[in-house]
């Protein structure tokens, strides 16, 4: 995006990517051509960039957790100014407050009256589990919970439905007020939480001692973050998670490509390339043996390759989004072509990796490259106009603020990114955890998914800026304006059969947003909607209880069916979606034959075995 200033522009020097040498801990220099220059930085009248402004914004970001104060002020100004000029809406809001207060006082007086149940006034939403325990059904705790829920409902009504307020500003105000109210929930305080009080009486206050110990342990873990491989309980990368046998067969400045050992006598000739997101480590698709997608695929007779992204640091600030395509997907396909020549590839992309795979596939279609046999996307968006509450953090003010913060650090660090995702589900990921760990003195049983979630990554300044601006703000990919190597690409050029998975409770890539692929590509689309969320819905191995899905194939020339109608008409199937996908892949694969060799003769002999080196840093 070009700045509006007409003053002279400063040229940006593109720094080379750095790559970790296979035989030592240092890095080797490797020049990377810059085909899409970064938008020039706005200058002041003295020829200097606005470094003082950026430094101030970076300092504010450390105090605000990366949330732009200007974005919040603009949203509240929009809401308050329109509310000030809406006297009828003010009267309505005031009347609602008086009516609810009257109802509450009457409920207090008649709490034990016949027909007066514990949640007669208001019941917690289905997704709110703070008040699930039976202790919350007794006074005075039930009354405190209902008073809190009534206040929360009133504030929701007060911050929404004001005519003239921009939709995004209304959402920002409602979301921020909800976050502030969540702090005041009676479940967050020992004196007003019956579960904590019961635990204190039963243990003689030992729960607070254990809670203090948990707090100190967490503080020490936070202070030592980044000093070595992440360990959560018994889950260690390469020892108990990410243990599928394989070897790194290619390495460059940005990726290691892992080829996994076959576990069947014969395999389908067409290999699978998995493109994970680089927001987190790749091994969510190779967790413990019982829920590893890699292990499942090799057991079904597929040759599997996986990209493992290097975790960038401040020196990688100028790594571009397109570098991930060239040095990631393109380089991986080239290497697979050397190992398994003259074979098309089944490509799978997860989350941001799926968005990158879509861009790569559209580029290949534009350029006449037919190496993809099929395309599978897991919880991956190609249109970002309805990307859920995550879009609350994406507007011009917020993106500029994040850019200034990343400009100082060179990367978006792990705490900032994790904090944004936690805010989307603050009840489950922040307050409930704090109550359990520090007031109850308990710990959730560690799991491989928790270990993976704690193993966070950083994002380069330039890549993340391009991602936010081109995809979220401008929606260039969906609009046919996204440029690759100076020329636009269009998703409508994709003719390759697609298998697209959405998850029912996804707060990162809402399934209705993922569903839009139906009218973006000119290909047969098999859409599957699975239960669970962004991670739990994808890691759904056969034999694990609680999974279900719906699936339907739409041919390229079929008339469009909206997501709501699709949900009503497609039957529910109990069980894991993995077998349905592998059946779909097998139907588009050739007859099994002898497995290919591991790597090529030209591979460097000192490349490590799986899980490789990059995942450990």
Domain assignment present for residue 209? The answer is no
Which of 168, 189, 210 terminates a domain? The answer is 189
Whether 95 shows a pLDDT value over 80: the answer reads yes
Check whether residue 311 and residue 340 sit in a common domain: yes
Residue 227's pLDDT band (cuts 50, 70, 90): very low
In whole angstroms, give the CA distance from residue 368 to residue 375.
16
The string of DSSP letters for 27-43 reads: EEEE----SSPPPPBPB
Average pLDDT, the chain: 87
**Which has more pLDDT, 603 or 152?**
152
* Closest among 224, 229, 260 to 243, alpha carbons compared: 260
* Closest among 365, 370, 377 to 487, alpha carbons compared: 365
Domain count, the chain: 3
Residue 416 is predicted with a pLDDT of 61
Domain assignment present for residue 291? The answer is yes
Task: Give percent of the chain with pLDDT exceeding 90.
Answer: 67
Residue 304's pLDDT band (cuts 50, 70, 90): very high
Residue 419's pLDDT band (cuts 50, 70, 90): low
Four-CA torsion 388, 391, 393, 397, nearest 10 degrees? -160
Residue 111's pLDDT band (cuts 50, 70, 90): confident
Using DSSP bridges, classify how beta strands 372-378 and 498-503 pair: parallel, antiparallel or unpaired: parallel
In whole angstroms, give the CA distance from residue 494 to residue 511.
21
Structure tokens at 485: 């190597």
In whole angstroms, give the CA distance from residue 452 to residue 418.
12
Residue 27's pLDDT band (cuts 50, 70, 90): very low
Count CA atoms within 13 Å of residue 385 on its CB side.
9
* Over residues 406-433, mean pLDDT: 71
Residue 338 is predicted with a pLDDT of 95
Residue 420 is predicted with a pLDDT of 60
At 572, which CATH number?
3.40.50.1820
Whether 19 shows a pLDDT value over 50: the answer reads no
Residue 36 is predicted with a pLDDT of 43
Using DSSP bridges, classify how beta strands 498-503 and 459-460 pair: parallel, antiparallel or unpaired: unpaired
Check whether residue 369 and residue 508 sit in a common domain: yes
End-to-end CA separation in angstroms for the chain: 33
Of 232-246, 260-274, 319-333, 595-609, the range with the lowest mean pLDDT is: 595-609
For residue 570, count other CB atoms closer than 10 A to its CB: 16
Check whether residue 73 and residue 51 sit in a common domain: no
Give the DSSP letter of residue 377: E
Using DSSP bridges, classify how beta strands 525-530 and 548-554 pair: parallel, antiparallel or unpaired: antiparallel
The string of DSSP letters for 183-204 reads: HT-GGGSGGG-HHHHHHHHHHT
For residue 157, the surrounding DSSP H or E stretch is helix 141-159
Domain assignment present for residue 419? The answer is no
Of 113-122, 362-371, 498-507, the range with the lowest mean pLDDT is: 113-122
Check whether residue 40 and residue 88 sit in a common domain: no
Give the DSSP letter of residue 128: -
Whether 595 shows a pLDDT value over 60: the answer reads yes
Check whether residue 266 and residue 310 sit in a common domain: yes
E runs forming strands in 443-518: 459-460, 483-484, 487-488, 498-503
Domain assignment present for residue 457? The answer is no
In whole angstroms, give the CA distance from residue 452 to residue 275.
17
Count CA atoms within 13 Å of residue 258 on its CB side.
29
In whole angstroms, give the CA distance from residue 260 to residue 248.
9
Q: Is 501 helix (H, G, I), strand (E, B) or coil?
A: strand
Residue 426 is predicted with a pLDDT of 64
Check whether residue 260 and residue 377 sit in a common domain: yes
Domain assignment present for residue 7? The answer is no
pLDDT in tens, 481-490: 999 999 999 9
Domain assignment present for residue 469? The answer is no
Which residues does 593 contact at the CB level (< 8 Å), separation at least 6?
A: 266, 267, 269
Which residues does 248 contact at the CB level (< 8 Å), separation at least 6?
A: 256, 257, 258, 308, 607, 608, 609, 610, 612, 613
Check whether residue 104 and residue 40 sit in a common domain: no
Domain assignment present for residue 449? The answer is no
Domain assignment present for residue 6? The answer is no
The Cα angle at residue 362 between residues 371 and 32, in degrees rounded to 5: 85
Check whether residue 250 and residue 361 sit in a common domain: yes
For residue 346, the surrounding DSSP H or E stretch is strand 345-350
* Over residues 175-192, mean pLDDT: 93
Check whether residue 45 and residue 170 sit in a common domain: no
Q: Which entry of 74, 275, 351, 471 is annotated as an active-site residue?
A: 351
pLDDT in tens, 395-414: 888 888 888 888 888 988 76
503 in Cβ contact with 537 (< 8 Å):
yes
pLDDT in tens, 346-399: 999 999 999 999 999 999 999 999 999 999 999 999 999 988 777 777 888 888
Residue 604's pLDDT band (cuts 50, 70, 90): low
Whether 423 shows a pLDDT value over 70: the answer reads no
Check whether residue 344 and residue 362 sit in a common domain: yes
186 in Cβ contact with 145 (< 8 Å):
yes
Residue 417's pLDDT band (cuts 50, 70, 90): low
Which of 64, 82, 101 terminates a domain? The answer is 64
351 noted as active-site residue = yes
For residue 574, count other CB atoms closer than 10 A to its CB: 10
β-partners of residue 526 are: 499, 553
* Closest among 75, 76, 62, 186 to 136, alpha carbons compared: 186
Whether 30 shows a pLDDT value over 70: the answer reads no
Residue 246's pLDDT band (cuts 50, 70, 90): very high
Check whether residue 490 and residue 589 sit in a common domain: yes
Identify the domain containing residue 95 by its residue range: 69-189
* Over residues 182-203, mean pLDDT: 94
Which of 121, 156, 189 terminates a domain? The answer is 189
Residue 39 is predicted with a pLDDT of 44
pTM for the model = 0.85
* Over residues 128-136, mean pLDDT: 91
Check whether residue 179 and residue 279 sit in a common domain: no
Place of tokens 């890691």: 539
């Amino acid at each position: 995006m070009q700045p509006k200033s007409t003053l002279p522009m400063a040229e940006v020097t593109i720094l080379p990517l750095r790559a970790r040498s296979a035989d030592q801990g240092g890095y080797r220099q490797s020049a990377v051509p810059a085909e899409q220059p970064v938008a020039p930085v706005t200058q002041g009248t003295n020829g200097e960039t606005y470094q003082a402004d950026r430094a101030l914004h970076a300092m504010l970001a450390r105090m605000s957790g990366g949330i732009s104060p200007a974005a919040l002020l603009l949203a509240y100004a929009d809401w308050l100014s329109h509310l000030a000029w809406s006297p009828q809406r003010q009267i309505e809001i005031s009347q609602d407050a008086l009516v609810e207060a009257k109802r509450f006082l009457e409920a207090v007086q008649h709490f034990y009256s016949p027909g007066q149940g514990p949640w007669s006034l208001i019941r917690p939403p289905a997704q709110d589990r703070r008040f699930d325990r039976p202790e919350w059904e007794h006074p005075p705790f039930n009354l405190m919970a209902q008073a809190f829920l009534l206040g929360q409902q009133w504030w929701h009504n007060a911050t929404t439905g004001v005519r003239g307020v921009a939709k995004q500003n209304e959402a920002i105000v409602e979301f921020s007020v909800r976050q502030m109210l969540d702090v005041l929930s009676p479940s967050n305080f020992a004196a007003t939480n019956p579960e904590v009080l019961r635990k204190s009486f039963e243990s003689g206050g030992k729960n607070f001692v254990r809670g203090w110990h948990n707090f100190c342990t967490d503080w020490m873990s936070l202070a030592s973050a980044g000093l070595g491989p992440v360990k959560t309980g018994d889950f260690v990368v390469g020892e108990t998670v990410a243990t599928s046998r394989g070897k790194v067969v290619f390495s460059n400045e940005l990726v290691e490509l892992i080829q996994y050992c076959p576990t069947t006598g014969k395999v389908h000739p067409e290999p699978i390339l998995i493109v994970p997101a680089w927001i987190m480590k790749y091994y969510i698709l190779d967790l413990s043996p019982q829920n590893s997608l890699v292990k499942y695929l090799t057991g079904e007779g597929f040759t599997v390759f996986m990209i493992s992204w290097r975790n960038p640091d401040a020196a990688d600030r100028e790594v571009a989004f397109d570098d991930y395509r060239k040095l990631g997907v393109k380089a991986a396909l080239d290497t697979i072509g050397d190992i398994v020549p003259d074979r098309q590839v089944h490509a799978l992309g997860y989350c941001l990796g799926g968005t990158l795979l879509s861009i790569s596939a559209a580029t290949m279609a534009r350029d006449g490259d037919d190496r993809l046999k099929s395309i599978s996307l897991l919880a991956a968006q190609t249109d970002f106009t309805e990307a859920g509450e995550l879009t609350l953090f994406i507007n011009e003010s917020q993106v500029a603020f994040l850019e200034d913060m990343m400009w100082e650090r060179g990367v978006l660090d792990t705490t900032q990114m994790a904090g944004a995702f936690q805010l989307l589900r603050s009840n489950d990921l922040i307050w409930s955890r704090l109550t359990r760990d520090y007031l109850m003195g308990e710990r959730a049983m560690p799991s491989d998914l928790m270990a993976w979630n704690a193993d966070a990554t950083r994002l380069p300044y330039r890549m993340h800026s391009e991602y936010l601006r081109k995809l979220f703000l401008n929606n260039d990919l969906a609009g046919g304006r996204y440029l690759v190597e100076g020329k636009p690409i269009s998703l409508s050029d994709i003719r390759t059969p697609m298998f697209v998975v959405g998850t029912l409770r996804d707060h990162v890539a809402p399934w209705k947003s993922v569903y839009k692929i139906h009218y973006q590509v000119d290909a047969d689309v098999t859409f599957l909607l699975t239960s669970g969320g962004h991670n739990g819905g994808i890691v759904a191995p056969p034999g694990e209880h609680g999974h279900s899905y719906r699936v339907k194939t739409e041919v390229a020339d079929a008339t469009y069916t909206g997501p709501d109608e699709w949900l009503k008409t497609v039957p529910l199937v109990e069980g894991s979606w993995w077998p349905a996908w592998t059946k779909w892949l097998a139907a588009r694969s050739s007859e099994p034959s002898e497995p290919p060799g591991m790597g090529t003769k030209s591979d460097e002999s000192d490349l490590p075995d799986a899980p490789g080196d990059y995942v450990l840093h």
